[in-house]
Amino acid sequence: MPRPLLALDAPSMYFRAFFGVPDTVTAPDGTPVNAVRGFLDMVSTLIKTRRPDRVVSALDYDWRPAWRVELVPSYKTHRVADPAENEEEVPDFLSPQVPILIDVLAAAGIPSIGAAGFEADDVLGTLAAVSDPPVEVVTGDRDLFQLITDDVKVLYVGRGVSKLEVMDDAAVRSRYGVPAAAYADFAVLRGDPSDGLPGVAGVGEKTAARLLTAYGDLQSLLAAAHEQAPGLRAKLLAAADYLAVAPQVVAVSRTVDLPEYDAGLPREPAEPDRLAMLAERWGLKSPVDRLLSVMATR
Contacts made by residues 207-211, CB under 8 angstroms, sequence distance 24+: 207/232, 208/178, 209/176, 209/177, 209/178, 210/177
* Ranges of residues in the chain whose predicted pLDDT is under 70: 81, 83-85
Per-residue pLDDT at 135: 98
Per-residue pLDDT at 88: 81
Residue range 195-252, pLDDT digits in tens: 999 999 999 999 999 999 999 999 999 999 999 999 999 999 999 999 999 999 999 9
Per-residue pLDDT at 97: 98
Q: How many residues does the chain have?
A: 298
**Angle between helix 34-50 and 97-108 (nearest 10):** 40
Decide if 5-169+252-288 and 180-250 have a common fold: no
Nearest to 130 by CA among 115, 109, 142, 110: 115
Considering the entire predicted model, what is its pTM? 0.95
d(CA 148, CA 263): 20
Per-residue pLDDT at 141: 95
What letter represents residue 92's amino acid? D
Domain boundaries, the chain: 5-169+252-288, 180-250
Count the Cβ atoms, other than its own, within 10 Å of residue 82.
9
Torsion angle defined by CA atoms of residues 98, 102, 107 and 110, in that order, rounded to the nearest 10 degrees: 140
Per-residue pLDDT at 115: 97
Per-residue pLDDT at 84: 61
Phi/psi of residue 22, nearest 5 degrees: -55, 145
CATH of 5-169+252-288, one of 3.40.1010.10, 3.40.50.1010, 3.90.870.10, 3.40.50.720: 3.40.50.1010
**CATH superfamily, domain at 180-250:** 5' to 3' exonuclease, C-terminal subdomain (1.10.150.20)
Per-residue pLDDT at 78: 80
